[in-house]
Structure 1
Amino acid sequence: MKYFLKTCGLVFFFSLLFFSSHGQDAREIVEKMDKKMRGETMIVEMEMDIVRPRFSRTIGIKSWSKGQDYSMILITAPARDKGTSFLKRQKEIWNWVPNIERTIKLPPSMMAQSWMGSDFTNDDLVRESSIINDYNHKIIGTETIEGYVCHKIEMIPKPNAAVVFGRILIWITKDSYLQMKAENFDEYGGLVSTVYGHQIKKMHDREIPTVLEMIPADKPGHKTVLRYIQLEFDRPIEDGFFSVQRMKDLR
């Protein structure tokens, strides 16, 4: 009888462990991935190639971010866009346009619009929505992508969350919490775009995908490729750096 009770107790314990871990793992996995890609702070130089059937162009970018509440983006090239900047400060999004010397506060309705003519949205670049706090997460499978075994996680927006997409599927490597792929769906279930992570390399103190490829579902021949050139994690940045005035003075 003691052996039976002990065995039942172990089975019950491991059952609790299994179900509790699966209940919380999806959010934890997404949170670890997000933290690995952001760090406490992140300073990055990158290039964005916007590819269209009849032309392509490259945008130079430098950005600073701190947690989920603060980010600053500066356009460094081409010459006609140089000096344009974007600021996220908690729930406020601002854009400085040097050609007309005007600061514009972006309303939430503009978050789904194209960023600088690319296939990324304003929300993709400044992340007004939180992939951790604005969604419910669920592990729905396991798949291998480019040789990496990944959790396949479904993300459904919470009620009243101010998000762009109606559903997101995301593939995150099991051993190193790297995002290898994401599919974005509209509120009716239609595929909007797919994002791929490529060329995993060590940058600063960690390995990450150094190339992100965004491919819209309904525009053949269109894609946007984001390439990290230089990246630094966890350098202290004061909150005061992320100010409307600093937007105008970035170099």
Structure 2
Amino acid sequence: MRFCVSLFWLLSISSLYGQTAREIVQAADSKMRGNTSQAQITIQTIRATWSREMTVKTWMKGTDLALILLQSPAKDKGIVYLKRKKEVWNWMPSLEKIIKLPPSMMSQSWMGTDFTNDDLVKESSVVNDYDHSIVGDTIIDDRNCYIIQMLPKPEAAVVWGKLLVCIDKKDFLELHTRFYDEDGSLVNTMNASDIKTMDGRLIPTRFEMIPAGKPNQKTVMVYKAVMFNRPLDDAFFTTEKMKILND
């Protein structure tokens, strides 16, 4: 009887932690999104012998709607990415053509950076497409963090085979993430830093994506400005808007 009671207690605790892990991930995800967000971002791609910088503007509403406009360099100015639910489009002004991205392209590099298409438009949902569990604790930059393992649900069409995410216990800041493929091999590591208050919200403003096994290579994304919870109509996120966004 004592064994049965102990087993029941352990199973209950395990269930509680699984639910708590999901809530922690959801809180961290919401921290960077708000109900809506509009951001000005620089993205620097760094290689052993060269580097390249882009500036982009983003608009996001919830988890289903997103627009990304490239503002520089000049040759890429006006390129737009649109996400509506599980569909993603790309507008190429030089071709005057809108291309719908197939799911197979979500794992590919976004604009030659170390971020994937999925990372930038967040086509998959870190909250709904994965099962979450707390697997440990750690300290990052003097902040106590949960270590949360995220495994994709069987029916989820996602890029990664596993994620290990470190989230600050106090402010729910995602400070470190490891991305693994379906074979369990490490692909990318993301570190977040330069924590600042922007538009009344404490967030990391610098994100470094570092590919495994590729020395002297990384991509740095820096938030220059961000506004949260400003009204954005669903009608803003359309393929027609993509064509005139840079006007």
Alignment-derived partner of residue 137 in structure 1:
132
AA in 2 matched with 1:46: I
TM-score under structure 1 normalisation? 0.92
Alignment-derived partner of residue 195 in structure 1:
190
Measured after TM superposition, the shift of residue 73 of structure 1 is 0.2
Q: Deviations over 1:147-205 (max 9, x none)?
A: 11000000000002110010000000000100000000011110000000010000001
Select 2:203's aligned residue among 208, 226, 236. 208
Alignment-derived partner of residue 100 in structure 2:
105
Matches for 1:164-179 after TM superposition, within 5 Å: 164-179=159-174
Alignment-derived partner of residue 83 in structure 1:
78
AA in 2 matched with 1:84: I
Q: Deviations over 1:3-33 (max 9, x none)?
A: xxxxxxxxxxx98985553231100000000
Measured after TM superposition, the shift of residue 221 of structure 1 is 1.1
Alignment-derived partner of residue 57 in structure 1:
52
Corresponding position: 1:248 with 2:238: no
Alignment-derived partner of residue 6 in structure 2:
none
Select 1:24's aligned residue among 14, 19, 29. 19
Instruction: Name the SS for the 1:115 alignment partner.
Output: coil
Alpha-carbon distance in structure 1 between the residues aligned to 2:177 and 2:36: 23
Measured after TM superposition, the shift of residue 220 of structure 1 is 1.4
Instruction: Name the SS for the 2:75 alignment partner.
Output: coil
Alpha-carbon distance in structure 2 between the residues aligned to 1:125 and 1:199: 20
Question: RMSD of the alignment, in Å?
Answer: 1.5
Instruction: Name the SS for the 1:160 alignment partner.
Output: coil
Corresponding position: 1:152 with 2:147: yes
TM-score under structure 2 normalisation? 0.94
Instruction: Name the SS for the 1:247 alignment partner.
Output: helix
Alpha-carbon distance in structure 2 between the residues aligned to 1:20 and 1:48: 40
Alpha-carbon distance in structure 2 between the residues aligned to 1:235 and 1:246: 18
Alpha-carbon distance in structure 1 between the residues aligned to 2:82 and 2:191: 26
Alpha-carbon distance in structure 1 between the residues aligned to 2:170 and 2:12: 20
Alignment-derived partner of residue 39 in structure 2:
44
Q: Deviations over 1:7-60 (max 9, x none)?
A: xxxxxxx98985553231100000000011100000000100000011001000
Corresponding position: 1:221 with 2:216: yes
Instruction: Name the SS for the 1:21 alignment partner.
Output: helix
Alignment-derived partner of residue 185 in structure 1:
180
Alpha-carbon distance in structure 1 between the residues aligned to 2:105 and 2:225: 29
Instruction: Name the SS for the 2:177 alignment partner.
Output: strand
AA in 2 matched with 1:79: A
Alignment-derived partner of residue 123 in structure 1:
118
Instruction: Name the SS for the 2:179 alignment partner.
Output: strand
Q: Which runs of 4+ in 1 moved over 2 A?
A: 14-21
Give structure 2 stretches of 5+ with no counterpart: 1-8
* Percentage of pairs with the same residue: 50
Give structure 1 stretches of 5+ with no counterpart: 1-13
Select 1:230's aligned residue among 212, 222, 225. 225
Q: Deviations over 1:39-85 (max 9, x none)?
A: 00000001000000110010000000001100000000000000000
Q: How many residues align?
A: 239
AA in 2 matched with 1:57: R
